[in-house]
């Protein structure tokens, strides 16, 4: 069926991960023909077979996609059929904790042979200010295009919050920017087809920095909450009660909570894109570095609490069996990237402990660049919980049975304050070591 009419556009979403797949689905929902490009053949096969590979998107959702509008492929020659290419590939840090734009540049290499007049590239990957101008625009100009005249370049950061049921891509306001005025107009025209609230800014650098500011704001506030937790522990004050009391102030205060550390593709990584760029300008971004340092130390703090708890039971880490509850970096999702649970597991293993995990969202440990535990999620029963010397609650998934856990754990380290609130608040729980004690 030929569904293209004069006013429609054909979109290519490049990188069908946590950001790209929901975005592609939104274009399709709006009856916009969408090619989905990825280098991972498995993902393409799954999509063609109607299977999801992302926890909060069901296979039912994939199955019900109208294939007249969705063309998942690894064939980059189809780029020539697209009016807009939206790049949603990873932007990690390299081994020296510097920006690694290799996924973006290899995307450009794959699409260059198929570019033509009139197309638009929109970069959505998070990155430092200047990337769109220095990397995307330069590359495209080297191909002989005149940006703003016969080719358009846009930066529009993604604000996906996987698992958050209060928002979806269409209802989250979208910052858009263009390399020239014409590029910005293209951005507005493309995104206003699928998103209610478009927020234009005057330069791609502003849009790039706005995204980083959002994540740095979170990192710094989580760092502060973690520092407050350690102080409150030492003073024998319940930090969760403190935060919840402060949060009743109807203005000027947003609640952030302490935890076992930070994870995911954003908060542990993005701030360092800016600190790296700031160095080029001779600026030392102290707040950002300090928050990162603090947050990165939290897994060690949790293991210190574990040592303390085992000690009370006349045990040591070496030879003990420890169960980690929750591998995902935050509740109710299946994303284990940069998860502090994994740092905690590694620290325990390095000290001779036997570590296993239970996470209803991650049935098998997914092999990572620096870690591979070859473990599957343990099923939680009264018997299975009781066989561990200690249980560490790292991720407070809704579908854990918290009574079963507290009733059967020999020793429970709670890094999330779950047993500090609600029905557990005033109960004496003898096996509980709050990680903020």
* Binding-site ranges for ligand NAD (CB under 6 A): 14-20, 37-40, 43, 88-91, 103, 106-107, 110, 125-126, 158, 160, 162, 265-266
Q: Which is nearer to ligand NAD, 265 or 434 (CB)?
A: 265
Q: Please, what is the minimum distance in Å from the beta carbon of residue 78 to ligand NAD? A: 12
Question: Do the beta carbons of residue 130 and residue 122 sit within 8 Å?
Answer: no
Q: Please, what is the minimum distance in Å from the beta carbon of residue 363 to ligand NAD? A: 18
Among 183, 266, 316, 379, the active-site one is: 266
- Bridge partners for 87 per DSSP: 14, 123
Beta strands in 1-74 (DSSP E): 11-14, 34-37, 70-73
DSSP summary character for residue 386: H
Q: Which is nearer to ligand NAD, 89 or 190 (CB)?
A: 89
88 catalytically annotated: no
Q: Which is nearer to ligand NAD, 240 or 329 (CB)?
A: 329
Q: Please, what is the minimum distance in Å from the beta carbon of residue 416 to ligand NAD? A: 20
Q: Please, what is the minimum distance in Å from the beta carbon of residue 199 to ligand NAD? A: 15
Q: Which is nearer to ligand NAD, 55 or 351 (CB)?
A: 55
Q: Please, what is the minimum distance in Å from the beta carbon of residue 126 to ligand NAD? A: 4
**Which residue number places its CB atom closest to ligand NAD?**
17
Q: Which is nearer to ligand NAD, 72 or 261 (CB)?
A: 72
Q: Please, what is the minimum distance in Å from the beta carbon of residue 70 to ligand NAD? A: 16
Question: Do the beta carbons of residue 409 and residue 390 sit within 8 Å?
Answer: yes
Q: Which is nearer to ligand NAD, 132 or 435 (CB)?
A: 132
Q: Which is nearer to ligand NAD, 20 or 292 (CB)?
A: 20
Three-class SS of the chain:
CCCCCCCCCCEEEECCCCCHHHHHHHHHHCCCCEEEECCCHHHHHHHHCCCCCCCCCCHHHHHCCCCCCEEEECCHHHHHHCCEEEECCCCCECCCCCECCHHHHHHHHHHHHHCCCCCEEEECCCCCCCHHHHHHHHHHHHCCCCECCCEEEEECCCCCCCCCCCCCHHHCCEEEEECCHHHHHHHHHHHCCCCCCEEECCCHHHHHHHHHHHHHHHHHHHHHHHHHHHHHHHCCCCHHHHHHHHCCCCCCCCCCCCCCCCCCCCCCCHHHHHHHHHHHCCCCCHHHHHHHHHHHHHHHHHHHHHHHHHHHCCCCCCCCEEEEECCCCCCCCCCCCCCHHHHHHHHHHHCCCEEEEECCCCCECCCCCCCCCCCECCCCCHHHHHCCCEEEECCCCCCCCHHHHHHHCCCEEECCCHHHCHHHCCCCCCCEEECCC
How many CB atoms are located within 10 Å of the residue 300 CB? 12
Q: Which is nearer to ligand NAD, 15 or 223 (CB)?
A: 15
What does residue 87 show for φ and ψ, rounded to 5 degrees?
A: -95, 120
Q: Please, what is the minimum distance in Å from the beta carbon of residue 168 to ligand NAD? A: 13
Report the catalytic residues.
266
């Amino acid at each position: 069926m030929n569904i293209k009419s004069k006013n429609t556009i054909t979109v290519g979403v490049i990188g069908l991960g946590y950001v790209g797949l929901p975005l592609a689905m939104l274009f399709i929902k709006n009856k916009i023909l969408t090619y989905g490009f990825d280098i991972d053949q498995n993902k393409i096969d799954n999509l063609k077979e109607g299977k999801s590979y992302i926890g909060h998107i069901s296979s039912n959702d994939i199955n019900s996609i109208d294939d007249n509008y969705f063309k998942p492929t690894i064939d980059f020659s189809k780029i020539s059929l697209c009016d807009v290419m939206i790049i949603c590939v990873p932007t990690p840090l390299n081994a020296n904790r510097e920006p690694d734009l290799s996924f973006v540049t290899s995307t450009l290499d794959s699409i260059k042979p198929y570019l033509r007049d009139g197309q638009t590239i929109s970069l959505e990957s998070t990155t430092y200010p200047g990337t769109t101008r220095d990397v995307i625009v330069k590359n495209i100009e080297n191909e002989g295009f005149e940006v703003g005249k016969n080719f358009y370049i846009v930066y529009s950061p993604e604000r996906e919050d996987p698992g958050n049921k209060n928002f979806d891509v269409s209802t989250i306001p979208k910052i858009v920017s263009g390399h020239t005025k014409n590029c910005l107009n293209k951005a507005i025209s493309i995104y206003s087809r699928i998103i209610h609230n478009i927020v234009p800014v005057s330069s791609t650098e502003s849009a790039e920095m706005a995204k980083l500011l959002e994540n740095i704001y979170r990192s710094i506030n989580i760092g502060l909450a973690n520092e407050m937790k350690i102080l409150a522990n030492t003073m024998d004050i319940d930090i969760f009660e403190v935060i919840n009391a402060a949060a009743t102030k109807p203005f000027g205060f947003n609640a952030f909570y302490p935890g076992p550390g930070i994870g995911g593709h954003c908060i542990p990584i993005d701030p360092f894109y800016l600190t790296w760029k700031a160095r080029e300008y001779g600026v030392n971004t102290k707040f950002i570095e300090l928050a990162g340092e603090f947050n990165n130390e939290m897994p060690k703090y949790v293991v210190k609490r574990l040592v303390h708890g085992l000690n009370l039971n006349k045990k040591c880490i070496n030879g003990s069996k420890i169960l980690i509850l929750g591998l995902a970096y935050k509740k109710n999702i299946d994303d284990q990237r940069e998860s502090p649970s994994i740092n905690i597991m590694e620290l325990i293993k390095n000290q001779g402990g036997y570590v296993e995990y239970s996470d209803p969202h991650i049935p098998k440990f997914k092999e990572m660049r620096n870690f591979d535990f070859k473990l599957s999620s343990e099923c939680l029963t009264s018997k299975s919980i009781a066989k561990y010397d200690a249980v560490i609650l790292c991720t407070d998934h809704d579908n854990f049975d918290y009574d079963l856990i507290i009733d059967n754990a020999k020793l429970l380290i709670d890094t999330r304050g779950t047993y500090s609130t609600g029905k557990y608040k005033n109960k004496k729980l003898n096996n509980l070591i709050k990680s903020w004690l």
